[in-house]
Amino acid sequence: MKIRNAEEKDLDVIVEIYNASIPSRIATGDIECISVESRIPWYKEHTPDSRPILVMELDEKIVGWLSFQSFYGTAAYKATAEVSIYVAPEYKGQGIGKKLLSEAIFYSPKLGINTLLGFIFAHNQPSLKLFDKFGFQRWGYLPKVANLDGMKRDVVVVGLHIEEAKKMIGFDNG
């Protein structure tokens, strides 16, 4: 198993994994599949030294990915990033998300990030449990802010201060 920075040639698989998450209405607010072309500007906004996209490979096949996204876009929030994780359907429940989130926490100080955020649908219990395992706290609750197929859905905002997490999970470098 290997985690590395995504390359533009990985966009096909990144988009395929993302699109596979849409029908469940549990991990994204998109309700229609996206195209690789629509993700090129998004990819170019992510640089390995500040807001990378990481992919996890198993036997040279990408099985999941994680992205860091700037929060709010002003200088005061430069050290805060939103993290998103997507795992290929056939690899869910195998610890891929756990390894990616662990890497994000470990890697954050090198990127100048000291706070991570997640915006997770309240009905996405697997993701909420994953983030709970790493000490993310519930920092906000946004009731009925999403409309998925006529159903109003809530969003939970989770957050983690990296220094606290490193102590909790035993990372002592950064």
Domains of the chain with bracketed CATH: 2-169 (3.40.630.30)
pLDDT of residue 54: 98
pLDDT of residue 168: 66
Instruction: Report d(CA 161, CA 164) in Å as an integer.
Output: 6
pLDDT along the chain (174 residues), means of 10: 96 98 94 96 95 97 97 93 97 96 94 97 97 96 96 97 75 49
**Model's pTM, two decimal places?**
0.92
CA-wise closest residue to 67 among 49, 85, 50: 85
Instruction: Report d(CA 22, CA 10) in Å as an integer.
Output: 19
Query: Which residues are within 8 A (CB) of 37 and not within 5 positions of it... i.e. 6 or more apart?
Result: none
Identity of residue 69: Q
pLDDT of residue 73: 83
pLDDT of residue 164: 76
